[in-house]
Amino acid sequence: MSISIYKVTTRKQSTLKGAAYLLFKGDVLSAVNWDFNRPLTDHEKNVIRSKFPFSQEDLKGFGEIFAVKEMEAKTAHDKLKLFCMYFKARRGSTYTAKKQEKANIKEVVVTEGLLNTYFSNDSFPLSYAKSINDYIRHYNYIRDINRNGIPEKSKFPNEYDARFEKQLSPEELSQYWAHLRNLGWRQNSRKVWVAPGKLDI
């Protein structure tokens, strides 16, 4: 199902500053994120209610009141909004960005196309667990998939295999360990690999 996100801003003469972000799944409104500088007045609420876009077709009427455009995340704030709303659409839960993520997201491009690629792929080095830090860490890989398609499956198994490990060169061994860590495996103090969710006994 296609996901579209629109940024809605007020006209210049309005005292209401900020924006609203509308998320559509297919043609149907799925979520709204209000980010205005003050609460809406009763008059503003009535005007908005009369033209509120419950489908993408309704956006034309809403555009008579507000400036409506498909989301192009150029500022760090808009990049955060786009990621968080996309996360909500794909996972059904709210994403809260960490302070470090808010600072670092300005270094990368965030588009609906790249987010669709990111959230649609769980194969190594990507995993099911999605976050802004993970998006930033794998940004070049995501761009490459978006441009060239999914590469061949990883040559590494998704669990620790001591016999497989012994056949690897030092460089391949390092890549294999990184692959395991990305899947949630970890080494305990005795250098024994522990599976995701298992207690280290």
Report yes or no: 179 and 120 within 8 Å, Cβ to Cβ.
Answer: no
- In this prediction, residue 109 carries a pLDDT of 95
Q: Look up tokens 């993408």; give the residue.
A: 56
And the tokens for 143?
């761009």
pLDDT at 78: 94
Give pLDDT, residue 152.
56
Q: In sequence order, which ranges of the chain are alpha helices (DSSP H)?
A: 42-51, 59-62, 76-91, 99-104, 112-120, 132-137, 139-148, 162-166, 170-182
Rounded to whole angstroms, the Cα distance separating 119 from 26 reads: 17
In angstroms, the CA 87 to CA 183 distance is 20
Given a cut of 50, the residues of the chain with pLDDT beneath it are none
- At 154 the pLDDT is 65
pLDDT at position 196, please? 81
Q: Distance between CA 130 and CA 123 in Å, rounded?
A: 12
What is the value of pTM for the model shown? 0.67
Res 42: pLDDT: 92
- The contacts of residue 148 (CB under 8 Å, 6+ apart) are none
